[in-house]
Amino acid sequence: MFQRIRWKLLATYLIVVFPTLIFLGVHLTRQFETAYADQLKADLLELARVIAANAADGLSSGNPETVRRHMQDARGAAEGPAVFVTDARGIVIAARGMSAPAVGGEADDPSIRAALEGRELAAVGRVPGREEAVYAAVPVRFHGRVLGAVHVERPLTYLHAQIQHLRWVVAWATIVALLMASGLALLLARSIAGPVQEMQVVASHLAAGRLGERVPARTRDELGDLARSLNYMASELERIDSLRRQFVADASHELRTPVANLAVAVEALKAVVGKDDGKAEAVAADLEREVERLRRLVEDLLDLSLVESGEVRLNLTQTAPADLVLRAVQPFRPRTDEAGVTLTVDLPSRLPSVKADADRTIQVLTNLLDNALKHTPRGGQVVVSAAERRGHVLLSVADTGPGIPEAELPHIFDRFYKVDKARSSARGGAGLGLAIAKRLVEAQGGIIMVENQEGRGARFVIALPRVG
């Protein structure tokens, strides 16, 4: 049972609370006992003073009967404390109560001797010849002379009864407090352990592949934040799983076409080998083209895998942006001439250097140029330019093709995504180039953006951090 976090929290809370409440109960009981005893002594001392004031007239007139009559008529005499009054010789002249000495006898109590000496006394102890008691004694004065003494006492059994009552009150209060603390501790443990257990169940479901599970985030504290983080992780896992499934489906689709073409070409080659050399050469050319397409697809998949796993090795050096542009543009000159497309390079006279991997940046520019030429009609124009802005150097590739539909822009950098799927397949594209370009630029600390005017062309911009 104590392997559960709920019971561990409850046990920890009670281990702290129980000793504290028990200590407080014992301490309060002792405090109440001391305070009650002190209060009882003060009350007895005050009562003795009142009786002494009333007995002064009788003792001063030599009429002890007045003292006895006054004591018997006093309010609460039957159930009150034991009281006796002595004259100056210590002879008892009036008494009441079971424990009081007989009238006419000599009181040999230390309290009486102290009172006859003019001192007031209140204490707890044993009186000679009687049981333990709480008592008080005061002198009876008349015009400065001590005429006698008054002794008032209550047996300790009375004090013990009252103290026992106090102990029971404190004990029950402590028990109630412990029960309330246990209930609150259980509620607190459940409020903490409940969400944790829910998250544990959801986490086990996620590990089992049930990625649609979510944890209810009911609070705004750390547990609520943890639940929201777990839900976010589940959403990301679900998204990644969806991308993985889509990736497998897209990769299978992209591989199916060239493989099927290869199979057809092989069959055709078998049919014409040794019969028609011209057809054999054409089929061999088709085979070579499909093999090249497969090679590019495999290389793109490997590049994408390396970039996304963070294993791609970058050689970041200080590089001149103009050199990057010129090296990327040069191989496309014959192709643009053949396609009837004008390729323009617009570079300012002075540009700051950038920190980049030259080969990877040229790879990105090559991909953008290839896409621009594929979508620019004869007579159109492709412009490659550079500029400095806000601590970055911007390299852009713009074309005058049909542009990108607005609905397609959010997905333009997704893997295997093609704006015109039929035309892209015909041109041999697998939809991986822009996905690789985006990840390569971001790996170098830059960003890649697309600006688009549907029907008037698209412009891709690479922003790389400048040096200095």
Q: pLDDT-based confidence at 137, cuts 50/70/90?
A: very high
139 φ/ψ angles, rounded to the nearest 5 degrees: -75, 150
Residue 426: predicted pLDDT: 44
What does the alpha-carbon distance between residue 444 and residue 441 come to, in Å, rounded to a whole number?
A: 5
CA distances from 415 to 69, 247, 259, 402, 432 (A): 116, 7, 21, 22, 5
Three-state secondary structure along 291-359? HHHHHHHHHHHHHHHHHHHCCCCCCCEEECHHHHHHHHHHHHHHHHHHHCCEEEEECCCCCCCEEECHH
State the pLDDT at residue 256.
67
Phi, psi at 368, each rounded to 5°: -65, -40
The DSSP secondary-structure symbol of 107 reads -
Question: What pLDDT does residue 424 have?
Answer: 45
Cα 343–Cα 327–Cα 464 angle in degrees, nearest 5: 95
Q: How far is CA 84 from CA 57, 69, 92, in A?
A: 16, 13, 7
CB 381 within 8 A of CB 344: yes
Distance CA 265, CA 10 (A): 75
pLDDT at 294 over 80: no
**Strands 392-399 and 342-346, how do they pair?**
unpaired
User: Taking Cα atoms as reference points, which of 150, 132, 140, 181 lies closest to residue 22?
Assistant: 181
Q: What pLDDT, on the 0 to 100 scale, is given for residue 386?
A: 94
Is the pLDDT at 422 greater than 80? The verdict is: no
Instruction: Tell me the average pLDDT of the chain.
Output: 80
Per-residue pLDDT at 300: 65
Roughly how many angstroms between the first and final C-alpha of the chain, as a whole number? 64
pLDDT digits (tens, 9 = 90+) for 21-54: 778 777 877 887 788 788 888 999 998 998 888 8
Name the nearest CA neighbour of 341 among 378, 303, 385, 390.
378
Average pLDDT over residues 137-146: 90
pLDDT over 80 at 235, yes or no: yes
Instruction: List the single range of 118-122, 201-205, 221-225, 315-319 with lowest mean pLDDT.
Output: 221-225
Residue 203: closest CA among 227, 223, 168: 227
pLDDT digits (tens, 9 = 90+) for 63-106: 878 788 777 765 445 567 889 999 888 888 888 877 778 888 88
Tell me the pairing of strands 145-155 and 392-399: unpaired
d(CA 383, CA 397): 6
Residue found by looking up tokens 């039929």 in the block: 422
* pLDDT score recorded for residue 425: 45
| pLDDT at 429 > cutoff 60 | no
pLDDT at 304: 65
Distance between CA atoms of 50 and 60, rounded to whole angstroms?
16
Judge contact between 341 and 373, C-beta under 8 A.
Answer: yes
448 Cβ contact partners less than 8 Å away, ≥ 6 residues apart: 364, 413, 437, 438, 441, 442, 460, 461, 462, 463
Would you say residue 297 has pLDDT above 80?
Answer: no
The yes-or-no verdict on residue 7 having pLDDT over 80 is no
Put simply, whether the predicted model's pTM sits higher than 0.85 gets the answer: no
pLDDT in tens, 321-367: 999 999 999 999 999 999 999 999 999 988 999 999 999 899 899 99
Higher pLDDT, 425 or 52: 52
DSSP secondary structure letter of residue 409: G
